[in-house]
Structure 1
Amino acid sequence: MVEFKLPDVGEGMHEGEIIKILVKPGDAVEQDQPVIEVQTDKVNAELSAPVTGVIKEIRIAEGETVEVGTTLLVIEQSAGSAKEGAAATQEAVRTEEKGEASTPRHVTSRPTRALATPYVRQMAREMKIDIEKVAGTGAAGRVTEEDLRQYAAAASTKPAKRTIVPAANSEAVTAPVEKISVGKHAGESMSRIDRIPMKGIRKKIAEHMTKSVTIIPHVTSVDEMEMDQLRGLREQMLPLAQKRNIKLTFLPFFIKALVIALKEFPVLNASIDDAAQEILLKRFYHIGVATDTPDGLIVPVIKDADRKSIFQLAEEIAQLAELARAGKLTLEQITGGTFTISNVGPIGGLQANPIINHPEVAIIALHKMEKRWVVREDEGVIRWMMNFSLSFDHRLIDGVTAVRFTNRIKELLENPTLLFAEMV
């Protein structure tokens, strides 16, 4: 009996959902015949029978989510298939004993289909390699990308030979096997790829972003605002900030406007408890500030931003950014955020669709500030303008609410004296 278990059909996959079972107990199947359709968060794949035989047992159901390694089917392997597999294995042993298999990754017959992800199989096809002849060094004998490269390198430098077992009183005969062609362009491309492990912070970022876009239906609203008055206010405050050794950017003003608007539109300062099917409206304002670091995007959190002055916010922003780039942030400093702001303006960009920092329900991105020709009171004038984007969770926030929210932020920043009137 052969237990057919759920393989890793996508790099790093942990589980998959059974979409369709294509066979039933008692069905005869051929090796490589599709038997199950499975969906993961990365791929939708068709799984094929590893051997020829008869389906004896089905241990899963359609719609069920199972982990990698779970037995899906039990197949009674046919006698002919089993004998062919055993004969092939014996032939490989004889060949090895005669010293002809100089590289363990060379011709190795299997009684079952080679284990490999769809990407590796595609890579093998592009390199014109029969993947069934490549010995896998990965988990459970899985063929990896490195196995293909090693196989191709060995095949291109030394012709493989096959051994014919001689009849009685006859001499052994060896015949050269045609060198496997890996394809000029495929081989050159492979040699110019640098492989970097997805690990650490970058891996966590990838997992978090995937979770966010999988769970949250994102909608993005884009608007622009005039920055002349805010620029003037900041210029007035710069001398005082410099006396206190404070780097005063525009970000503290944006955070203040954001907090005022969040108090008026509490649904944007919330999260959804999916398990309990509840909306959590938060009456504290912990603002995450997306920060570029050598290891990737980190979001340190300014706690109780509504209780801090412009200068206090400026100091904390600078301190957290320095800690983030040095990799010295504590868990307390990167958790508990209720809303995130991403300021990409200093490096450019007119518009973006920022990804929400789950479990938050919205994120705002600030883009580059530049002089533009605009119309005011039916006359063309030059103004400092800036675009900004709001991505929001459409399960909780309607488009009208989102636009009213950004209109309020725009009003406060275009007339920054209102910031001081609204501060508590």
Structure 2
Amino acid sequence: MGIKEFKLPDVGEGVAEGELVTWHVSPGDTVTEDQVVAEVETDKALVDVPSPYNGTVKELRAEEGEMVPVGDVIITFEVEGEGDEGTETEPETESDESEAAEEPEEETPPAETESPSGRVFAPPSVRRLARELGVDLSGVEGSGPSGRVTETDVRTAAEGSGDGDESGSTGPRNVSFSGKSAVSKAGDSGDGQAAESSGSAGGPKAAGREKTLAAPATRRIAEEEGVDIDDVPATEERDGEPFVTEADVRQYAEVQRAAQTADARSLAAEEGAGEAGEAAESTAEAVEPEAESVDAAGDRVPYKGVRKAIGDQMQRSKYTAPHVTHHDEVDVTELVELRGEYKPLAAERDVNLTYMPFVTKAVVAALKQFPYMNAQLDEENEEIVLRDEYNVGVATATDAGLLVPVVHDADGKGLLELARETNELVEKARSRKISPAEMQGGTFTITNVGVIGGEYATPIINYPEVGILALGEIKEKPRVVDGDIVPRKVLTLSLSFDHRVVDGAIAARFTNKVKEYLSNPKLLLLE
């Protein structure tokens, strides 16, 4: 029986520390590899920390609520068949390798090696595969829990080196504690099966396998969650077969529950809401905030983590970019009718169609005609950079504060694709499972104040972008049409812009173009 120390991993996104929010284990508990032992909050997201070993918890080295620097030991394990080696182990000998080969794959604790770039986590079978394929593990970025290197990572690195790809991978990857990888373009997960399962209004797509590898503890969790483990998309492989982890099961179950809730809400809205209800419906239901905080009057709430990161960003933006806000109204009666016509058709394809994809398409079409609204100011080089990509952020209220998932390459997506991707990103933001890469690279942001009944706002720019558009509530108001006063559906718009880059005349013309598309939404079909 040997002692293994586990340090708070570095997620590679500039995070120096994290708050240990919750322990899911206690000293003396038996744990399995990939079992979630703690939750840690950084200034970017709330992440699960899985155990890299099969063993017994010996000691918890951090208290709940404590800020822990990356690299500090947070927990120790007693592991069967290991010498008392602390955090370091020597490279495997041939005898070690043969002993590990005789053990069942699920029971093999991952081995560690030390490389110049830092610690490399990999089980013996993966290290053997790396030697066979001539892959240096120190150059492989792990996609498994806590950055563990999997067989898929090694094979990908081998294929990459064979075709001249020096990076040893098929694309950019952002590794999180939970072992999920995400690339810089939202929606392209690098794992087709996992991408399909990330959730839509109609629920995650089941894998439908006949055979699934998983640890006994993972199978128990699947039973508790009421899901068929053969339907859970796997993020790892063992000996060429899908290997489902506890994180996979929990994510699949969570998405199923979210989809069922969305379906129930949609059904209730359709049964109980008439035309007046549609008019009062939020401009983008997908960004509806969660319930009010449970914090009570008189409490002192720590200003840290995501909340502080949001505050720092808002302060930087407000004191860097001179803000000006332009307000206007637009008659969206035809948009309300068109969306009402398309919504049941979208539902047949398991997509909850909100107003947000219509607004996104209108904004992108206007940005193409007014490139200074899709720009950034490079202060160091004294240049205005006119961006040639259209990555639209969608401000989302969560229980931790405002997060901004980014729909990348929005100009190349249709209404249903925009709706599906926006819904998925918003749900991931609310559940705090969104990766930093999915909140980066935005060129313009849309926020919705109408969801809580607001009309006008002065939104703060998501710096270094130069513009942000706030949507008010769609309300029925009197308008003059062909000389008659008639009730019409009216949406308020509030555009904040960086006056160093954008003049008031450009902002007004940009808003007018957005209004043109929203008042005559059939024009969007030509975009």
What interval of TM-score do these two structures reach, taking the shorter chain for normalisation? 0.5 to 0.7
Distance 1:311 1:347 in 2: 25
- 2:436 counterpart of 1:337: no
Distance 2:493 2:305 in 1: 31
TM-score (norm 2): 0.43
State the Cα distance separating 1:373 from its structure 2 match: 1.1
State the Cα distance separating 1:257 from its structure 2 match: 0.5
Match of 1:290 among 390, 395, 414: 395
- 2:370 counterpart of 1:268: no
Match of 1:220 among 287, 300, 325: 325
Distance 2:341 2:456 in 1: 29
Do the aligned residues in 2 keep the contact of 1:363 with 1:390 (CA within 8 Å)? yes
Aligned to 2:347: 242
Distance 2:334 2:492 in 1: 16
Question: Match of 1:314, as an amino acid?
Answer: A
Aligned to 1:395: 500
Question: Match of 1:200, as an amino acid?
Answer: G
- 2:484 counterpart of 1:379: yes
Task: List aligned pairs for 1:23-422, cutoff 5 A.
Answer: 193-422=298-527
Distance 2:336 2:488 in 1: 11
Do the aligned residues in 2 keep the contact of 1:363 with 1:392 (CA within 8 Å)? yes
Number of residue-to-residue matches in the alignment: 232
Distance 1:249 1:270 in 2: 27
Structure 2 residue matching 1:368: 3-state secondary structure? coil
Structure 2 unaligned residues grouped into runs of 5+: 1-296
Question: Match of 1:354, as an amino acid?
Answer: P
State the Cα distance separating 1:344 from its structure 2 match: 2.1
Distance 1:246 1:344 in 2: 23
Aligned to 1:78: none
Distance 2:470 2:301 in 1: 29
Distance 1:308 1:387 in 2: 25
Do the aligned residues in 2 keep the contact of 1:287 with 1:301 (CA within 8 Å)? yes
TM-score (norm 1): 0.54
Do the aligned residues in 1 keep the contact of 2:476 with 2:487 (CA within 8 Å)? yes
Do the aligned residues in 2 keep the contact of 1:302 with 1:316 (CA within 8 Å)? yes
Distance 1:355 1:378 in 2: 39
Distance 1:282 1:421 in 2: 22
Structure 1 unaligned residues grouped into runs of 5+: 1-191
Give runs of ≥4 in structure 1 deviating > 6 Å: none
State the Cα distance separating 1:193 from its structure 2 match: 2.8
Question: Match of 1:292, as an amino acid?
Answer: A
Do the aligned residues in 1 keep the contact of 2:474 with 2:492 (CA within 8 Å)? yes
Residue by residue, what CA displacement relative to the aligned partner does 1:214-245 show, whole Å, maximum 9, x if unpaired? 00100000000111101111111112111111
Counting aligned pairs with the same residue, the percent is 48
State the Cα distance separating 1:313 from its structure 2 match: 0.6
CA RMSD of aligned residues (A): 1.3
State the Cα distance separating 1:249 from its structure 2 match: 0.3
Distance 1:376 1:345 in 2: 25
Distance 2:344 2:470 in 1: 28
Residue by residue, what CA displacement relative to the aligned partner does 1:130-188 show, whole Å, maximum 9, x if unpaired? xxxxxxxxxxxxxxxxxxxxxxxxxxxxxxxxxxxxxxxxxxxxxxxxxxxxxxxxxxx
Distance 1:309 1:240 in 2: 14
Further displaced range: 391-400 or 372-381: 372-381
Do the aligned residues in 2 keep the contact of 1:272 with 1:278 (CA within 8 Å)? yes
Do the aligned residues in 2 keep the contact of 1:251 with 1:343 (CA within 8 Å)? no
The structure whose RCO (Cα within 8 Å, separation 6+) is larger is 2
Do the aligned residues in 1 keep the contact of 2:449 with 2:457 (CA within 8 Å)? no
State the Cα distance separating 1:391 from its structure 2 match: 0.3
